[in-house]
Chains A and B, each alone.
Chain A
Amino acid sequence: MELDAITSNVLEAIDSGGFKQEGAYNLRYNGTALCHGDSAHIKIKKKEGKSGIDVYISREAQGEQVHIPVVISQSGMTDVVYNDFYIEEGADVVIVAGCGIHNSGCNETRHDGVHAFHVGRNAKVVYEEKHYGEGEGTGENILNPVTEIDLEEGAVFTLNTAQIRGVDSTERRTDVDMGPGSRLYVVEKLMTHDAQTAVSNMEVRMNGAGSSAQIVSRSVAKGKSRQTFHPNAVGNALCKAHIQCDSIIMDEAQVCSIPEIDARDIDAQIIHEAAIGRINTEQLLKLRSFGMSEEEAENVIIDNFLR
């Protein structure tokens, strides 16, 4: 089906791989499924009784992708959606989600996406989620995602989240339960500007022996924006985890980083690091010695930091 220019632009911003109406996909537009397709190994079913979809990924899915973006262009809309993903043992899949709001009105526009992942033994999942806001309106863009992940033995889950720009307020919650030998990689990238606020709470419970988690958070706070990060790694068994939170603070912004580690087993090894600082003067001078203006150098530093 033909998509309008606004939808196409928003999709381009939130789906870096390029959204196509091929294979397994579901485009949610202003609260309803605009178009959807299944593949031989990935089936998408509409939920009954509440909004959202169930995505069934069979073990035959090897290196396949499923794209499930959300676009909202109706100012004043509040869209709540529940999506469940059932990934069979041994499947290998990339799930591309993300939400973009085009708000040209004066009303608050909001999307709350609740995603639950049930990942079978030895399955591999890469989940990518980008959040983005645009539009000439004065209404706020709000995104409050909830991500629940349950990893069975040997499963590997990579969670890449990015908030690019234009989101006035976000409150993210991520909960992960990890079985034996399972692995989790999280890369969270966030940019806030003007008076935006962002809160990210994450709890990773390493319940199975041999489980491991690596959580990296990188953020840039500009203007008068405020950010709060609170990742918590709980070691309930022999496990390893590393949390790293790095933030660049600019202008009159505020960044609060609270990495928490909680060992409940003598064989749990958990490390956290957190750093907040302004852009280094030496970095600026180095890039300016290439002929860049101060503003260009600053943009390059931020761009690479969040890359």
Chain B
Amino acid sequence: MLEVRNLTYEVVENGEKITIVKDINFAVGDGEMLVITGPNGGGKSTVAKLLMGVLKATGGELLLDGEDIKDLSIDERAKAGIGYAFQQPPTFKGMTIRRLLNLAAGEELPEPVCCDLLSNVGMCAREYLDREVDATLSGGERKRVEIATVLAKSHKICIFDEPEAGIDLWSFSMLVKEFEKIHERKKETLLLISHQEKIIRMADRILIIKDGGVSACGSAEEILPMLFDEDRECSCMNRKGGRMYGTGCDNK
């Protein structure tokens, strides 16, 4: 279980203290799927980075299975069982996709396993394995490789920061199926930052972050109507209805 208590992140700019996220509280149980959503610039990705240790929290507690991980580095958190897919993955000149997957897994993976990992994110595997993770890959391809690196290893908790960004509809469907499979197995906790209705609807619980704080948090049954019911006032989003997320064809 991951427990987040009063998570706060402040920066000082030109001598002035700016609060990016403040007093975030939530918990995710083992095998549970939590989706964090909310308006752009609200602090969702910052929370994800604070959980992984990409950014260092300035206040609060982070407990993984009861152990405080707030002072652990990113690599120590990885060893503690957290996997993380970056929103904007970096390129690596000279490194093949196969090599990156092996590094992510911490072992030499057999070729069929590498192929499966890529197929599961909608990539025609063999033609990609020996390609470099460089600028010759499109943004969507790099994003799918990024997700595959997290899937290459078993984790206690997997954090995906906007996994849908830059991905075509067909690959997105494959990705949703992959998340469904992980969720059904209930072996790994899933924490996704997302704006996509399909992903949000898969969640056990939904957390809405706005202006650096928790605007709403609850079960999917509680929160979904706020987001997607046309006739309800959505106070957490400061807008009516939830159409902002839909792909169109799913919204009746």
Q: Are the CB atoms of A304 and B74 closer together than 8 Å?
A: no
Task: Kindly identify which residue among A280, A291, A294, A306 contacts B106, using a CB–CB cutoff of 8 Å.
Answer: A291
A286 touches B75 (CB 8 A): no
Interface pair A301/B106, CB less than 8 Å apart: no
Interface 1/0 per residue, A203-229 and B, CB below 8 Å:
000000000000000100000000000
Contact A291–B54 (Cβ < 8 Å): no
Q: Pick the contact of A293 from B75, B84, B89, B95 — CB < 8 Å?
A: B75
Q: B75: which of A218, A288, A300 is its contact (CB, 8 Å)? A: A288
Indicate which residue in A246, A286, A288, A300 contacts B93 across the interface (CB closer than 8 Å): A246
Contacts of A282 in B (CB 8 A): 86, 88-90
Instruction: Report the separation of the CA atoms of residues A288 and B84 in the bound assembly, to the nearest whole angstrom.
Output: 10
A304, B95: Cβ atoms closer than 8 Å: yes
Asked if B74 and A288 make an inter-chain contact with CB atoms under 8 angstroms apart, the answer reads yes
> Which residue on chain B has the smallest CB distance to residue A296?
B75
Q: How distant is the Cα of A213 from the Cα of B74 in the complex, in angstroms?
A: 44
A285 pairs with B74, CB closer than 8 A: yes
Q: Chain B residues near A292 (CB, 8 Å)?
A: 75, 103
Complex Cα gap A103–B75 (Å): 39
* A307, B94: Cβ atoms closer than 8 Å: yes
Closest to A283 in B: B90
B52, B75, B95, B104 interface centre (most CB from chain A within 10 Å) = B75
In the assembled complex, which residues on chain B have CB atoms less than 8 Å from the CB atom of A246?
93
State whether the Cβ of B73 lies closer than 8 Å to any Cβ in chain A: yes
Question: Number of residue pairs across A and B with beta carbons under 8 Å?
Answer: 58
Contact of A290 among B93, B94, B95, B104 (CB under 8 A): B104
Of the candidates B79, B92, B149, B153, the one whose C-beta lies within 8 Å of that of A301 is B92
Q: Which residues of A contact B1 (CB under 8 A)?
A: none
| A300-B103 in contact (CB<8A) | yes
- How distant is the Cα of A303 from the Cα of B103 in the complex, in angstroms? 13
- A159 CB to closest chain B CB (Å) equals 18
Cβ of B99 and Cβ of A289 under 8 Å apart? no
Mark out the residues of chain B between 32 and 85 whose CB falls within 8 Å of any chain A CB in the assembled complex.
Answer: 52, 54, 73-75, 78-79, 83-84
User: Whole-angstrom distance from the CB of A221 to the nearest CB of chain B?
Assistant: 16
Q: How many angstroms between the C-alpha atoms of A218 and B92 in the bound complex?
A: 13
Asked whether A287 is an interface residue with its Cβ less than 8 Å from the other chain, the reply is yes
Inter-chain contacts of A294 with B (CB < 8 A) = 75
Determine the distance from Cα of A246 to Cα of B93 in the docked complex, in whole angstroms.
10
Report the Cα distance A90→B219, complex, angstroms: 73
Contact A285 B99 (CB under 8 A): no
> What is the CB-to-nearest-CB distance from A48 to chain B, in angstroms, rounded to a whole number?
44
Q: Is the CB of B94 within 8 A of A291?
A: no
Q: Which of A233-250 contact B (CB under 8 A)?
A: 246
Cβ of B94 and Cβ of A289 under 8 Å apart?
no
| A301-B94 Cα distance, complex, nearest whole Å | 9
Q: A293–B52 Cα gap in the complex (Å)?
A: 15
B150 to chain A: closest residue by CB: A289
Q: Which of B84, B86, B92, B153 contacts A304 (CB 8 A)?
A: B92
A286 in contact with B86 (CB, 8 Å): yes
Determine the chain A residues whose CB is within 8 A of the CB of B74 once the complex forms: 285, 288-289
Min distance, Cβ B229 to any Cβ of chain A, angstroms: 37
Chain A positions 113 through 144: 1 when the CB is less than 8 Å from some CB of chain B, otherwise 0: 00000000000000000000000000000000
- Rounded to whole angstroms, the CA-CA distance of A290 and B153 in the bound complex is 9
Interface mask (B178-217 → A, CB under 8 Å = 1, otherwise 0): 0000000000000000000000000000000000000000
Contact (Cβ within 8 A) B93 A289: no
Query: How far, in whole Å, are A286 and B84 apart by their CA atoms in the complex?
Result: 9
- Chain A residues with CB under 8 Å of B106's CB are 290-291
Residues in A neighbouring B153, C-beta threshold 8 A: 290
Mark A residues whose CB is within 8 Å of B: 218, 246, 280, 282-283, 285-294, 300-301, 304-307
A-B residue pairs in contact (CB < 8 Å), sample of 19: A218-B94, A280-B90, A282-B88, A285-B86, A285-B90, A286-B86, A288-B78, A289-B54, A289-B78, A290-B78, A290-B104, A290-B149, A291-B106, A292-B75, A294-B75, A300-B103, A301-B92, A304-B94, A307-B95
